[in-house]
Every structure is written in structure tokens, then in C-alpha cells.
Amino acid sequence: MSHHIIEFRDVCFRYPDGTEALKGISFRITHGESVGVVGANGSGKSTLIRHMNGCLLPTSGTVNIGDFPLTVKTRRELRRKVGIVFQDPDDQLFMPTVFDDVAFGPLNLGMDEACVREKVRGALDVVHCLDLQDKPPHRLSLGQKSAVAIASVMAMDPDILAMDEPAANLDPRSRRSLIAFLKTFKHSKMIASHDLDLILDVCERCIVIGDGRVVADGPSAELLSNRTMLEENSLELPLSLQGR
């Protein structure tokens, strides 16, 4: 299916304060691929993720989702296809209860009540948070918030999933169950993270970004074992490959 394709063509982005965050990024992700995006702090990972559904639009170059270029006109429609999980779950959970929050997306898609309830149930079940549904977000732990944030995006049935540092706030067990969940998501996905072991576990392909440019793009197993290249980009070998 063509609509699961993401293509960045020579994407540049400059923030209003003049910072050049992306300096000509190009790559193409095909259906079902799962891609890790790694790079130093400030290399442009988060900016890249925000280009996936038009939160930010390129200063020059194009982003194509499926067969459509992402523009001011198409972005509302294309947002249904791309689910983004942002870094801070407090930004993502803006409704008064967990249920309301997860129901927000489906309700905006115009689903009827029974359908919305089913979607919410399903999405919360995937992240094991069904019993939290009546709780207000300020009563949740950080790990629970992250899980609910993922559910709130999954409830919209996205074709493409993009995540910014999904494991940053998680304890080891929650991180494990996140990895297990990510492996079950069969559509295209893109994960920006410093957690190289997670990338190695979940993504078969990896893109290394440095100073707003693609430094390397290839199979994760290969790139993430290249010590020199990783260290040049303020990264290091994944713990599982360090052989201590």
C-alpha cells in the first residue's frame, strides 16, 4: 500500500530565531519498515519528527506521505495517517481524564459512540492501562503517562507511527513492554531515541543524523556496531554490543 511510504526530499528547516536545524535531509521509508533515528543532542531528531505530520513545514524541500506532499492544505488530512508520540507525555495528555484523552482522536475523526468506546478499550488494553481510564492525568506516574500517550495515538489507527524518545521516562520493565508493543506494530514506524539498544531491538534500519544532515543510513546491526562512526556523532556502541 502506497500510503505507508514516507519520503523526505532535501528537507531544510530554519527556526524563526535563525537556527538551522535541518540542512538538506533526504530518505525514503517504505511500507512496514521500522527505522531508528539517532544522533547527538541538538542534531535535529525532534525537528525531524515534527516534520512527519506538518507540525513544522520545511523551509525548502518536500515531505511526501504516501503519494501526497505535506503542505498547509493537505496536512489536516495526512495527520490521520501519521500518529506522533511526543517526548513529554504531559504535552500529549490534555484532557481531564485518561478516557477522555484517548477518546479525543477518535471523536475528532467523527466515529460514533460505540465505535469510540471500542477503540479506547482496545488502545488502552494494548498498553495495559485499562484500569486507569477514569483517572486524571496528574495522578499518573510518568511511566503510566507515557503508556497512555501511546494509547491516545494508537486509538486513531495510524498507518505510520513516529515517536520521539519513547523510552526516556520508563523504568526497565515498562521499557521492556514498550519494546514488545513496538514489535507488534506492523505498519511503518520511525523512532528517534538515544536508547540504542531499543533501536537495535526494534528497528532493522537506522538513520544517523549529525548537524542537520544524514550521516549514515543503513541496517541497524551494521551501523550500530561501527564504533568510530558512532563516537564521531557523540554516540557509543549499544550496551548489548559492548561485550563487557
Partner 1 sequence: MTFSDHYFDIDRLDRLSRKETFVHRLDPRVKTIATMLFLITVISFPKYEVAALVPFFLFPVLMLTLGDIPAGFIAGKILLVSPFAILIGLFNPFLDTRIVAVVAGLPVSAGILSFLSILLKFVLTISAALLLIATTSFPGVCHALRQLGFPAIFVSQLLLLYRYLFVLLEEAMRIVRARDMRSSGARGAGVRVFVRLVGVLFLRAVDRAERIYHAMLSRGFQGDLPTLRPSRVTAVDLAFLAATIAFLAGFRFSQVAEGIGRSAQELLR
Residues 6+ apart with CB under 8 A from 21: 13, 14, 15, 44, 47, 212
Locate cell 551501523: which residue? Answer: 223
Q: Report the 10 Å Cβ neighbour count for 196.
A: 22
* Residue (of 151, 144, 96) closest to 120 by Cα position: 151
Segment contacting partner 1 by CB under 8 A, of 25-33, 66-74, 84-92, 207-215: 84-92
> Least distance from C-beta 189 to partner 1, angstroms?
15
Count of residues in contact with partner 1, rule CB under 8 A: 38
Rama region for 114: left / alpha / beta (φ>0; ψ in -120 to 50; rest): alpha
x-or-dash pattern for partner 1, window 169-208, by CB under 8 A? ----------------------------------------
Contacts (CB under 8 A) with partner 1, residues 23-62: 50, 53, 55
> Least distance from C-beta 11 to partner 1, angstroms?
18
* Partners of residue 196 on adjacent β-strands: none
C-alpha–C-alpha distance, residues 130 and 6, integer Å: 32
x-or-dash pattern for partner 1, window 137-176, by CB under 8 A? xxx------------xx--x--------------------
* Residue (of 29, 13, 21) closest to 217 by Cα position: 29
Residues that bind partner 1 (CB under 8 A): 50, 53, 55, 76, 79-80, 82-84, 86, 88, 90-97, 99-100, 103-105, 107-109, 113, 116-117, 134, 136-139, 152-153, 156
